[in-house]
């Protein structure tokens, strides 16, 4: 790193043609259910905010219990409750009105059961003129209703992307799943189909069981893992996507501190999604993460995010610990079979 910069580090970034004052993005599903909460996130320090995912028609979601803190993050199966794309337009318009004076971009989020309905939902929410549209092809909590998630197949992911791009002129961010065989391959498929950016990753499917009853804790039985337990998976996914494509990435999953943000940027993310941290750190999560990020940048003499973005992809310098890893320990000897 270079000498400590004389001025405050530059936190702004350009994402798919949209300027953000800082790299923190409110993730979909957290504080995104109303214009008031989206404004609250913006005033708390978010550089951009994502509305809760909407579908073409209204959904009630899954019955309670739908979410639980299991000590290492959250497990949730909300089931995408939302008023439908047509009602969402009014909410997005009001959110845009509130966010405009703050200079914070708005990201709409859509999901659907068929490529055609993805396109219809995209066309409808485009009437509200959000800055970006997140195309959620990876929600694990409705997979049993629709079969395999679209994010699990190159062909299906690309088909949804093509349909959505044909239905709107607004830049599209395709949200990918962590539980696929090759996320880099899926990323290449959606970029070739026209995706302007990628969000990675959605939650990871998981389950908790109540030992007293012997039954799954959530009414839906399975749910999506978020929070600190997801971070190593998210970092690996963002790293592989950045190796595969050149479009900007929102890296999300387990971001709770400024150091988490630094690591995600080093993996190749352009922006960093924040969700479960609001539960663990309260409504000051954005401001706290920003303070920690700024402090780290200043202490390491970093003048802008560009200086650290993607550093994990650089070959290690000769003589560094990374270029000379310690030998793998042998478990022979006293533990060897006789």
- Which are the catalytic amino acids? 139
Q: How far is CA 25 from CA 36, 45, 90, 104, in A?
A: 16, 9, 22, 10
Count of helix runs (H) and strand runs (E) in the chain: 10, 16
Beta pairing partners, 210: 215
Q: How far is CA 167 from CA 126, 127, 170, 332, in A?
A: 9, 11, 9, 61
Tell me the pairing of strands 74-76 and 132-136: unpaired
Tokens of 102: 């703050």
Query: What SS3 class is residue 58?
Result: coil
**Residue 296 burial (CB < 10 Å; 0-12/13-18/19+)?**
middle
Q: What is the DSSP letter of 276?
A: T
| 8 A C-beta contact, residue 77 and residue 218 | yes
Token look-up 């539960």 returns 279
Distance separating alpha carbons of residues 39 and 291, to the nearest angstrom:
20
């Amino acid at each position: 790193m270079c000498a400590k910069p004389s001025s405050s580090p530059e936190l702004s970034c350009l994402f798919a043609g949209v300027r953000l004052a800082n790299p923190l993005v409110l993730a979909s599903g957290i504080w995104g259910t109303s214009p008031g909460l989206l404004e609250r996130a913006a005033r708390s320090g978010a550089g951009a905010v994502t509305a809760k995912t909407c579908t073409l028609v209204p959904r009630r979601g899954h019955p309670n219990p739908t979410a639980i803190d299991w000590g290492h993050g959250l497990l949730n199966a909300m089931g995408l409750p939302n008023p439908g794309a047509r009602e969402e337009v009014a909410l997005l318009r009001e959110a845009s009105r509130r966010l405009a004076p703050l200079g914070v971009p708005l990201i709409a989020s859509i999901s659907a059961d068929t490529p055609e309905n993805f396109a219809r939902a995209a066309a409808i929410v485009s009437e509200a003129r959000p800055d970006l549209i997140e195309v959620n092809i990876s929600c694990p909590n409705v997979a049993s209703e629709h079969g395999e998630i679209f994010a699990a197949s190159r062909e299906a992911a690309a088909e949804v992307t093509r349909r959505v791009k044909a239905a709107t002129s607004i830049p599209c961010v395709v949200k990918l799943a962590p539980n696929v065989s090759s996320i880099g391959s899926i990323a290449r498929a959606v970029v070739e189909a026209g995706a302007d950016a990628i969000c990675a990753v959605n939650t990871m499917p998981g389950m908790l069981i109540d030992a007293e009853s012997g039954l799954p804790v959530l009414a839906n039985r399975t749910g999506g893992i978020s929070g600190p337990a997801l971070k190593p998976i998210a970092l690996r996914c963002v790293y592989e996507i950045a190796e595969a494509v050149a479009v900007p990435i929102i890296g999300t999953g387990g971001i709770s501190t400024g150091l988490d943000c630094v690591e995600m940027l080093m993996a190749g993310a352009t922006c960093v999604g924040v969700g479960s941290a609001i539960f663990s750190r309260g409504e000051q999560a954005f401001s706290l993460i920003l303070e920690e990020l700024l402090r780290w940048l200043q202490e390491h003499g970093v003048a802008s995010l560009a200086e650290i973005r993607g550093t994990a992809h650089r070959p290690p310098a000769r003589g560094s610990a990374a270029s000379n890893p310690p030998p793998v320990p042998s478990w022979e000897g006293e533990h060897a079979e006789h």
